């Protein structure tokens, strides 16, 4: 099996067209125009499975973020946003809201707070873990590896140097803001004859 390294870019402000963040952004846009929507409306603006969207809507209704607005002649239910907020609601199946910050966000916060001194995998596990969000060594190492390969980190010490652990610090030019970089898995079609990606590149969050 051959390996290809592709450099993909995303326009500023452009987000993946799947995942709860995308679904919620579409719902907010409908809300701004005063338009009720169906699950199919969200589906048609996404690269996602209809059942996944229906499940997300069901959770938001239970939690009170969405309200049922009516029923169309084809019996499709319509919804409207009942609680407007910029952050995507994180809701369990029973409708209870998940208040905890994601593991990747916790790690990004810790990395930004230590950009002068640097950190090891063990440091990140210790500093980023909370009572509600437990971070494993393997997960932290994977997150660091992705950021390092993407140019976000500056290696300070390689593993085993002077008998110590590998250490990194955040590249100041990559300290772009409070939101964690999204690590995505993309499914693409690559034309080897033309050496280009054909069509869109739907992506989902990997970590």
| Cβ–Cβ < 8 Å for 206, 183 | yes
> In CATH terms, are 20-81 and 103-182 the same topology?
yes
Q: For residue 8, is pLDDT > 90? A: no
> Residue 193's pLDDT is what?
72
Assess whether pLDDT exceeds 70 at residue 121.
yes
Give the up-direction half-sphere exposure of residue 58: CA atoms within 13 A in the CB hemisphere: 9
Residue holding tokens 């452009």? 14
pLDDT at 202: 65
Per-residue exposure over 48-87, b if at least 16 CB sit within 10 Å of its own CB, e if not: beeebbbebbebbbbbebbeeeeeeeeeebbbbbeeeeee
The domain 103-182 having CATH identifier 3.40.50.12160: the answer here is no
| pLDDT higher than threshold 70 for residue 190 | no
pLDDT for 144-183, tens place per residue? 999 999 999 999 988 655 556 899 999 999 998 888 888 8
Residue 49 pLDDT level (bands cut at 50, 70, 90): confident
Q: Where are the domains of the chain?
A: 20-81, 103-182
- Is pLDDT larger for residue 59 or for residue 15? 59
Nearest to 123 by CA among 143, 145, 140: 140
Residues recorded for the chain? 207
Closest CA to 156 of 119, 127, 113: 119
pLDDT tens digits, 193-206: 777 767 766 666 67
CATH 3.40.50.720 holds for 20-81? no
> Distance between CA atoms of 158 and 2, rounded to whole angstroms?
29
Q: Are 206 and 185 in contact (CB under 8 A)?
A: yes
Maximum pairwise Cα distance, the chain? 72
Q: Vertex 135, ends 169 and 13: CA angle to 5°?
A: 65
pLDDT of residue 201: 62
Percent of the chain with pLDDT over 70: 82
Q: Report residue 58's pLDDT band, with 50, 70 and 90 as the boundaries.
A: very high
pLDDT recorded at residue 70: 95
- Alpha-carbon distance 102 to 1, whole Å? 35
Please state, in angstroms and rounded to a whole number, the distance separating the CA atoms of residues 148 and 154: 7
DSSP code of residue 81: E
| Model pTM score | 0.57
Q: Residues 80, 31: contact at Cβ < 8 Å?
A: yes
Q: Is the pLDDT score of 142 beyond 90?
A: yes
| Average pLDDT for 69-88 | 92
CA atoms within 13 A on the CB side of 20: 13
Q: Which range is most confident: 5-19, 68-82, 104-118, 147-161?
A: 68-82
- Confidence check: pLDDT of 3 > 80: no
Q: Both tokens of residue 83?
A: 């609680």
Mean pLDDT over the full length of the chain: 85
């Amino acid at each position: 099996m051959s390996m290809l390294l592709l450099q993909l870019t995303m326009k500023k402000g452009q987000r993946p067209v799947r995942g709860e963040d995308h679904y919620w952004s579409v719902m907010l846009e409908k809300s701004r125009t005063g338009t009720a929507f169906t699950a199919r409306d969200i589906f048609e603006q996404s690269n996602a499975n209809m059942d996944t969207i229906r499940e997300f809507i069901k959770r938001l209704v239970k939690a009170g973020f969405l309200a049922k607005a009516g029923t169309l002649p084809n019996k499709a239910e319509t919804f409207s946003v009942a609680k407007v907020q910029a952050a995507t609601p994180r809701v369990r199946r029973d409708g209870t809201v998940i208040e905890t910050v994601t593991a990747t966000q916790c790690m990004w916060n810790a990395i930004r707070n230590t950009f002068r001194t640097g950190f090891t995998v063990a440091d990140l596990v210790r500093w980023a873990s909370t009572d509600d969000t437990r971070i494993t060594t393997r997960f932290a190492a994977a997150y660091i590896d992705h950021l390092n390969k993407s140019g976000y980190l500056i290696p300070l010490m390689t593993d085993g140097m002077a008998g110590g652990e590998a250490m990194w610090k955040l590249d100041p030019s990559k300290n772009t803001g409070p939101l964690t970089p999204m690590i995505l898995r993309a499914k693409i079609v690559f034309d080897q004859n033309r050496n280009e990606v054909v069509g869109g590149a739907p992506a989902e969050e990997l970590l």
